[in-house]
Amino acid sequence: MKQILQMIIYKGIYVIAYTVSLIPMVFLYAMASVAFFVIYNIIGYRKAVVIQNMARSFPDKSYGEIHCIMKKFYTCFTAYFAEIIKSISIPAKELDKKIIFENLELIDRYINTGRNVIVCLGHCANWEMPNFIACKLPYNMYAVYKPLRSIIINRLMIKIRSRFGVKLISHKSIVRHILTQKSSPAVYFFLADQCPRIKDDKYKFDFLNQETYVFSGMEKLSRISRSSVIYLHIQQLSKGNYKVRCMPICSETESMNEGEISLRYINLLAENINQEPYGWLWTHKRWKK
């Protein structure tokens, strides 16, 4: 009975979300502007966390500069959700005009050597947009994710994120999956810029002027599976328009020293953030410990 009720609620929410996604983008952005006013000026959602994160990451910037970056961050943050809602129904041809992919041949090259490709990225710009890459390449693609506590919301996010062909796979299942699929090279996406629960000093680096622990799982998995590793640099060209560039981290993980892959990843992530400091997910308590 509980499962039936969850299914009914899930389908009801999806129908509502799909209906809202049919609203023209200009009106969705207007709704996002209202959400920005409420979140930024009335609720003040995690403003203290954002200010602290930015001030520590950019010690050379003045309070006025930090304030400007923070305000633009919240403006973009609410707009991203409007774009995610729109992605539920937007035609693939229309979305293709909004996202420019560069250097996709790098993935082709690595796949053609018989290796899996691990694509790591951060919560930069609208980090959901690269899901469209599945329409550009003929390979199996998997996004590694941590299931949400809410079964209903979790199913909804899987539905949205897998619309263009990316398959979602739980972080608890990824090791077994990638090791049992050696004969079929595929692409695996990792969002690896949040705070790990387990602290390993071998994966502690200077990141945005702070000592930072990094998830070791992405590197360890790339090693045991002998995968090539790529960073996905996401840049917002204008409102709703993005450029996604594939940047090499390493082609042969067995030739890298331990921690070197993660170091290259966070250095590329830092470059991405410094290019557009308002685009990263600053509300996350990245340095809470």
Full DSSP string of 132-172: GGGGT--S-EEEEEPPPS-HHHHHHHHHHHTTTSPEEEETT
Q: Which residues pair with 24 in a beta bridge?
A: none
Specify the higher pLDDT residue, 289 or 169: 169
Q: What is the DSSP letter of 86?
A: H
**pLDDT tens-digit readout, 196-251:** 887 888 899 999 999 999 999 899 999 999 999 999 999 999 999 999 999 999 99
The pLDDT confidence band at residue 289, using thresholds 50, 70 and 90, is low
What is the bridge-based pairing of β-strands 210-213 and 167-170?
unpaired
Please answer whether residues 103 and 214 qualify as being in contact, where contact means their C-beta atoms are separated by less than 8 angstroms: no
The rounded distance, in Å, linking the Cα atoms of 284 and 17 is 25
Task: Tell me what the mean pLDDT of segment 6-31 comes to.
Answer: 94
* Residue 48, pLDDT above cutoff 90: yes
The reported pLDDT for the residue numbered 192 is 87
Residue type at position 16: I
The pLDDT confidence band at residue 255, using thresholds 50, 70 and 90, is confident
The reported pLDDT for the residue numbered 184 is 86
The pLDDT confidence band at residue 4, using thresholds 50, 70 and 90, is confident
**pLDDT tens-digit readout, 73-132:** 999 999 999 999 999 999 999 999 999 999 999 999 999 999 999 999 999 999 998 899
The reported pLDDT for the residue numbered 146 is 87
The reported pLDDT for the residue numbered 40 is 97
Whole-model pTM? 0.93
The reported pLDDT for the residue numbered 6 is 83
The reported pLDDT for the residue numbered 254 is 87
C-alpha closest to that of 164 among 231, 107, 90, 106: 90
Please answer whether residues 29 and 82 qualify as being in contact, where contact means their C-beta atoms are separated by less than 8 angstroms: yes
